[in-house]
Amino acid sequence: MDILRSIGSPAADRMCASSQRSADPPSSGRSSRSSSSRRRSEERSAPAEMARIVTDPETGRCYCRGKVLGKGGFAKCYEMTDLSTSKVYAAKIIPHTRVSKPHQREKIDREIELHKLLHHKHIVHFYHHFEDKENIYILLEYCSRKSLAHILKARKVLTEPEVRYYLRQIVSGLKYLHEQEILHRDLKLGNFFVSESMELKVGDFGLAAKLELAGNRRKTICGTPNYLSPEVLNKQGHGCESDIWALGCVMYTMLLGRPPFETTNLKETYRCIREARYSLPSSLSPPAKLLISSLLTKSPEDRPHLDHILRHDFFIQGFSPERLPPSCCHSAPDFHVSSPAKSFFKKAAAALFGGKRDKVKYYETLNKQTKEEEEIYKLQHDLKRTAISQQSSQLPEDGRPLPPSADEPVAAVTEAQSPTMQDTIRLIVRGSLGSCSSSSSECLEDDMAGSVAGTVASVFRGCIENMPKAGDIPKGSGSSNLQWVTKWVDYSNKYGFGYQLSDNTVGVLFNNGTHMSLLPDRKTIHYYAELGKRAVFPTCEVPEHFVGQVTVLKYFSHYMEENLMDGGDLVSMTDKHMPRLYLLQWLKSDRALMMLFNDGTFQVNFYHDHTKIILCAQQDEYLLTYINEERVSTTFALGSLLTSGCPKDLRKRMEYSLSMLLQRGS
C-alpha cells in the first residue's frame, strides 16, 4: 500500500492519460517471476546507492535516513532524523533521474509549492525541502501509526463510533482545503495518516489541484480507480463534489472492509461508478446507509456540503468518542462510561441476552424488525429534511429571525404604539406555546421532533437578540416547578442514553429509537415505540418481548442512584397534572451536553464548570433556569431577561446552547 505517492508517478501519468488500465495478470507465470525478481533486485540495490547521512547544502543540517515507510512510482518515503535536534520526519526522497523531463519536475515543484502553504491540525505538516546532486528531499510530519489503510488491513472493518471519529477529522481537514480552493483528488485510506496521539492527518498532495471555475475545470482522469466519481470518469471536470464522492467511498470501506464499486474487472468497476450502482448490506445502521447514499449520489449537485455532513443523523444520533486508544490500530475498542458502570452493564448484558441460544433468538427477532424500522426512519428523515428546507427557504441570507408576517398586529408600529418587552416576548412565542405546552403528543405526531426544536430555537434566539446587556444576574422570578435532568449516563455504544429527572423518573433513549421510562413509584413503565404513542405496563407484569429493555432500564436506574450525585439544588414539586417528559434527542459536543424533550424542555449541561441552562414552557410564558458553579439555581421569566438583560457569562452560555440546538435541527 502506497504511503506517499508523487504527483508525477508513472502510475499517476497512466491514470491521467487514459480511463482504462489493464487489470489482467501476466500471461506467463515465468515472465511474472522474472520481472518480480528484477524488481526486488532493484529495490535491494537502491538503498545501498543512497547515502545514509544526508546534508542539506544550504543549511548544513545533517539527517540520518532510517527505514522505508512507503513507496510510489517516483519516490520513496523514509524515516529521517535531524541529527542536531533528534526530530523525526517522514522524508519523501525523489531521485533526479526519475524527474528528468520538464513536465515531471514541474509537477514536483507544484506539489511542494501547494503543500508548504497548508497549515491545519488535520493536514500532514510540510516542514522543509532541499536537494543535492542525487535527490530532492521533502520533510513532512511523521505519523507513527501509519495510515487508515494499515489499520483497516489489521482490523478488517471498523466500528461506527470509530468511523465517526475519523470522518470528523477528515471533514475538518477537507473543509480547510476547499476553503483554500484546493481539491485533493486522491482521497483514500492510504492517504489518511495517523499520529502517535491517534489524530488523523490528510496527506499526499501529489494529485491536488487548485479549484477552477466550472467551465475551466480539469477533465483529466486521475486518482485511484475505486474512488473516482462519475463526473471524473465522464470527463466533466473536477469540483469539490468529487472529493465528497470519495469521502463516501472511504466511509463505506471503513465500515465494510471493501470499496463500494470494487469488482474483478476494471471496466465493470467503471460501469458501476457511472451508474452509481452498489449494495448497502443490512449490517449497516439506517443512518449510515442514508449518509453513504447521499455522499454517493450520481449527480454532483445533489451531494451534501461538508458543513451538512456532520449535522447528519449518523453523527448526531450516535456515540462519537473524543479520543481513541492506540490499541484501535489492531483491535476493536472497548468503549465504556466508567469502571464502576462497566460491571453493572456487564450484568445487564447477561440479563438481556442470557445464554448464546437466547442471544441468537434476540437477534433473530431484531432482524425481523429491521426493514420496518428502516422505513419509519426514512420517513422521519424525509419529513425532517422537508421541514428544514421549507424553514431555510424563508430565512434571509444573514440568518437572523424573520420579521413578523403581515397578518400580525405589529407590522407597522409607531413610537406611541410600541409594545412593551412583555409584549415582545409574547410575540416571539406566539403560535408555539398553544401547540406544545400541554401533553405534546398530538404536536409531535403532527410536526415530528423537528417542530419542537424549531419552536425552542426561535424563542431562544428571539430572547438573545432582543435583550440588553447587563452586568449582574437579574432577580429571579417565576415558578421552580419544573422537571429537569439531575443525572445522566451515556452508554450509547451498547444500549442508549440514560437519565434521571428531578421527580425521580428514570428514562432511557435506546439506540433503536425507542424510549422507556420508569416512573417515580418504581412500579410503572411507559414505553414509546413511536413519537406520541405510549404503552403502559407494571414492572411486575412486563411483556416477554420487553424484558431485556426493562432489565437495562433498571440497571441504568441502579447505577445512577448508587454512583452519581444530583446536579443542583433545584427540586421539582410533584404534580400529577404535569405532562410526562421523555427524551427526543441528545447531542454532545466538546463543551456541553444538550437534551431536548417532548414538551419543549431544553437543557444544556456544561462540562468544565457544571453549570446548566434549562428552558421550559409553563402556562403563558417560557422560564429559563440557570444553575451556577455552586449548584445554586435561579429561575427567570424570559420576559424579565428581555427587560433587564443578563451578564456576559450567562449570555455566552445561552448563545452556545442555541448553536447546539441549531446544529441538532440542521
Give me the catalytic one of 186, 204, 313, 503: 186
Q: Are residues 289 and 226 in the same domain?
A: yes
Q: Tens of pLDDT along 378-391?
A: 444 443 443 334 33
Q: Which of 457, 166, 494 is nearest to 309 (CA)?
A: 166
Task: Please report, for the domain that includes residue 198, its CATH number.
Answer: 1.10.510.10
Q: What DSSP string describes 141-192?
A: E--TT-BHHHHHHHHSS--HHHHHHHHHHHHHHHHHHHHTTEE----SGGGE
Last residue of a domain, one of 113, 141, 169: 141
For the cut 80, the answer to whether the pLDDT of residue 194 exceeds it is yes
Same domain for 520 and 570: yes
Where is average pLDDT lowest: 388-392, 438-442, 534-538? Answer: 438-442
Predicted confidence (pLDDT) at residue 197 exceeds the cutoff of 80 = yes
| Grid cell of 439 as nine digits | 401533553
CA distances from 400 to 82, 394, 426, 666 (A): 53, 11, 19, 16
Indicate whether 69 and 157 sit together in one domain: no
From the number of C-beta atoms within 10 Å of its C-beta (0-12, 13-18, 19+), residue 623 rates as: buried
Q: Which of 78, 111, 141 is the last residue of a domain?
A: 141
In a domain, 279, yes or no: yes
**Which amino acid appears at position 518 of this protein?**
L
Most confident residue range from 136-140, 281-285, 316-320, 608-612: 136-140
- Is position 130 within any domain? yes
* Mean pLDDT, residues 98-114 taken together: 91
Does 379 reside within a domain?
no
Boundary residue ending a domain (90, 120, 141): 141
Q: Are residues 183 and 321 in the same domain?
A: yes
pLDDT of residue 519: 94
> Is 216 found in the same domain as 130?
no
* CA pair distance 81, 53, nearest whole angstrom: 10
Q: What's residue 555's pLDDT?
A: 87
| Residues 573 and 616 grouped into a single domain | yes
Domain assignment of residue 203, yes or no:
yes
250 lies in the same domain as 191: yes
Residue 294 lies in a domain: yes
Residue environment code for 151-189, b if the CB has 16+ CB neighbours within 10 A, otherwise e: bbeebeebbbbbbbbbbebbbbbbbbbbeeebbbbbbbb
**One domain, residues 649 and 609:** yes
Residue 14: give its domain's CATH number.
3.30.200.20
Pair 183, 276 in one domain: yes
Considering the domain boundaries, does residue 306 fall inside one? yes
Selection from 605, 530, 566 nearest residue 369 by Cα? 530
- Determine the average pLDDT of the residues in 416-426: 37
Query: Looking at the DSSP assignment, which residues form a beta bridge with residue 71?
Result: 76
Confidence class for position 544, pLDDT limits 50, 70, 90: confident
| The most confident of 34-38, 57-61, 331-335, 632-636, by mean pLDDT | 57-61
**Alpha-carbon separation of residue 542 from 21, 205, 548, 657 (angstroms):** 62, 59, 10, 38
What pLDDT is stored for residue 139 in this prediction?
98
* Pick from 336, 295, 332: nearest CA to 314: 295
Residues 184 and 287 in one domain: yes
Provide the domain count of the chain.
3
Q: Is 534 domain-assigned?
A: yes
Q: What is the 3-class SS of 357-418, one letter each residue?
A: HHHHHHHHHHHHHHHHHHHHHHHHHHHHHHHHHHHHCCCCCCCCCCCCCCCCCCCCCCCCCC
Indicate the average pLDDT of the chain. 76
Contacts of residues 112-117 at CB distance under 8 Å and 24 or more positions apart, as own/partner, are 112/138, 114/182, 114/205, 114/208, 114/210, 115/205, 115/208, 117/180
Is 559 in a helix, a strand, or coil?
helix
Cα–Cα distance list, 77 to 65, 187, 267, 531 (Å)? 10, 19, 32, 56
Mention every residue, 6+ apart, whose C-beta is less than 8 A from residue 539. 518, 522, 523, 524, 525, 550
Neighbours of 613 (CB within 10 A): 22
**Grid coordinates in use for 387?**
421541514
Same domain, 55 and 202: no
Which range of 195-204, 392-401, 527-536 scores highest in mean pLDDT? It is 195-204
- What is the per-residue pLDDT for 508? 95
d(Cα 581, Cα 365) in Å, to the nearest integer?
A: 29
38 found inside a domain: no
Give residue 243's domain range: 148-326
Q: Are residues 137 and 161 located together in one domain of the fold?
A: no
pLDDT computed for residue 430 by the predictor: 29
Tens-digit pLDDT profile for residues 296-348:
999 999 999 998 999 999 998 888 888 899 999 999 987 754 444 444 444 44
More confident residue, 607 or 341: 607
Q: Which residues, in sequence order, are bridge partners of residue 68?
A: 78
Report the CATH number at residue 573: 3.30.1120.30
pLDDT at 380: 44
What confidence score (pLDDT) does residue 498 get?
A: 94
Active-site residue flag, 609: no
Higher per-residue pLDDT: 75 or 435:
75
Residues with Cβ < 8 Å from 607, sequence gap 6 or more? 591, 592, 593
Of the listed ranges 150-159, 479-488, 509-518, the one predicted with least confidence: 479-488
